[in-house]
Structure 1
Amino acid sequence: MVNTKGKLYLIPTTLGDNEPLEVLPMSVKKIIERTNHYIVENEKSARRFIKKITPRKSQPNLTLYLLDKFTDEMEIQNYLDVCEEGVDVGLLSEAGVPAVADPGASIVKLAHHKNIKVVPLVGPSSIIMALMASGLNGQNFAFNGYLPIDKAERKKSIKQLEKLSFTKNQSQIFIETPYRNEKMIEDLLQVLSNETRLCIAADITLATEFIKTMSVHDWKKQKISLHKKPAIFILHKF
């Protein structure tokens, strides 16, 4: 029996205010041109992105379902109902790829449960791009999301990640809210061993892109300002 259900497309977006087709393949544009149902974290920015990549697309014809931390879990269960009628749905990230350090995994899980085909589209992932450019271990790595906000807990977590990187030969990746970048760097330089390698990557794919890997000893000699810039941190003690 032919499966006539619609598909769930995982649609990446840019990592900042640059032209979509500078970092996204034409296939993303083609999917957006023919898709009118989207699950989004922020309606305003989603509409702006869709308009930027497909200026002629009719905005009134779009149906947007909101997915954020306030969305009721029961409501989410209905978001893919149109797929049962053969209609495709796009899951849009706020920045980068959906469901990776980004809301959306619950929708993908629901799609698998309903036997709806999930189609991930090619696009920029700041996590992967930072690892690619770090020179650290791309064969064995872990993404740890956000570290604790409490200063003491954060320092403890940093030390644990450093130990883990050494014992498992595993690069440890994590992120921070942009306005707390400076405090994160300060704690990293206080806690980590001088020989530990640290990669700091910010504004990936933008004109202001910064990616640098050095020992903590050398980082202590540098002055770096990452205030309010999206950043990825990777550490590895060899």
Structure 2
Amino acid sequence: MGAGILYICGTPIGNLEDISLRALKILKQVDFIAAEDTRRTQNLLNHYEIDTSLISYHEHNEEKKGPQIIDRLKSGQDIALVSDAGMPGISDPGYKLTALADQAGIRVVPIPGPTAMTAALVASGLPTDKFVFEGFLPSKSKQREKRLRELGAEGRTIVFYESPYRLKECLSSILDVLGNRKIAVWREITKKFEEKIAGTVKEVLTRFEEESPRGEITIVLDGADLDKIQNKDAGWKHLSILEHLQLLMEKGVTKKKAIKIVAQERDLPKREVYEVGIQLDAKLKD
């Protein structure tokens, strides 16, 4: 007997009707299903009267379970990998099992299904011809702002996932670092209480300050205006850090805010810019 097949099987992200006939067929015929959350997947199987056995495979047991699943594939068993929702491998450890299967010479077959990323993107009202997917931004503010600064010159539409508990902090960071761009925030996409909140970052942030967000969140953010960035850069590229600070303060920007802006625009540590600001204080006193 030859090796089995690993099916990467897409499942609904909310509405249980968002599953293909092919996916249902595969889930019924495989020897077992490797699921990120067996309880959640069992609900799907019960809905469609599928009695295939389940085992768990997630980020906390992948090191142990991955080789075990590969051994079962080598023995000739067919296996379907499913995540909590959507396509396995998108912001979950499914890709690691696929890599192990490739290394073992095991055939991997994708069974396409929905993802919150593409569903939110195509209905966002923002450009869809080119985009990047960032998954979840770092939870800590300094790391999150650092990553956003790295995305400052990204001209393509950007898609993020976010926890409802961190959404307001995330939007505040986007506003501070990337400015008041167009944005669409999807809540509970494909589910009963699905909602899109669109507008500028400031408008959407105001909405969620009035009403705390709930449910699973997908953010679609407009890319940078590259022409505007280039013109903006042209205004300070020839200046020293000291001259850059002075220019901003002459325009009415506070010293604290000027230090933050200069550090972001030049991608420098704030401490370095702060020390130059001390020189500016001395210069202003003279």
Cα distance change on mapping 1:227 and 1:77 into 2, 3 Å: same
Q: 1:237 aligns with which of 204, 224, 231?
A: 224
Q: In terms of Rg, which structure is larger? A: 2
Alignment of 1:5-154 (within 5 A): 5-16=3-14, 18=15, 20=16, 22-53=17-48, 55=49, 57-58=50-51, 62-64=53-55, 66-71=56-61, 73-154=63-144
- Alpha-carbon shift at residue 12 of structure 1 (Å): 1.8
The structure carrying a bigger helix percent of its residues is: 2
Deviation at 1:201, TM superposition (A): 1.4
- Check conservation: 1:181, 1:228, Cα contact below 8 A: no
Alignment match, 1:197: 182
Displacement of 1:129: 1.2
1:146-168 Cα distance to aligned partner (Å, 9 max, x none): 2122223323433432x122xxx
SS of the aligned residue for 1:232 comes to: strand
Cα displacement string for residues 177-218 of structure 1 (whole angstroms, at most 9, x for unaligned residues): 232223323433444423x22121121111222224423354
Among 140, 161, 164, the alignment partner of 2:153 is: 164
Amino acid at match of 1:183: E
Shift of 1:5: 2.6
Contact kept in structure 2, 1:24 and 1:122, CA below 8 Å: no
Q: What are structure 1's unaligned runs of at least 5 residues? A: none
Residues of 2 paired with 1:89 and 1:95: CA distance?
Answer: 17
The one-letter amino acid paired with 1:152 is K
Whose relative contact order is higher, 1 or 2, with alpha carbons under 8 Å and at least 6 apart?
A: 1
1:216 to 201, 208, 218: 201
Alignment check: 8 A CA contact 1:96 1:124 kept = yes
* Separation of aligned partners in 1, 2:133 and 2:126: 13
Q: Aligned-pair RMSD on alpha carbons? A: 2.4
Cα deviation digits, residues 77-99 of structure 1 (max 9, x gap): 22122222332101011111100
Structure 1 SS opposite 2:69:
coil
After TM superposition, the score normalised by the length of structure 2 is 0.69
| Alpha-carbon contact 1:203-1:230 (below 8 Å) kept | yes
Where do 5+ consecutive residues of structure 2 fail to align? 226-286
Residue identity in the other structure for 1:15: I
SS in 1 for 2:218: strand
TM-aligned CA deviation for residue 222 of structure 1 = 3.8
Instruction: Tell me, yes or no, if structure 1 residue 206 matches structure 2 residue 221.
Output: no
Structure 1: distance between partners of 2:45 and 2:123: 29
SS of alignment partner, residue 145 of structure 1: strand
The aligned amino acid for 1:164 is A
Are the equivalent residues in 2 in contact too, given 1:179–1:229 (CA < 8 A)? no
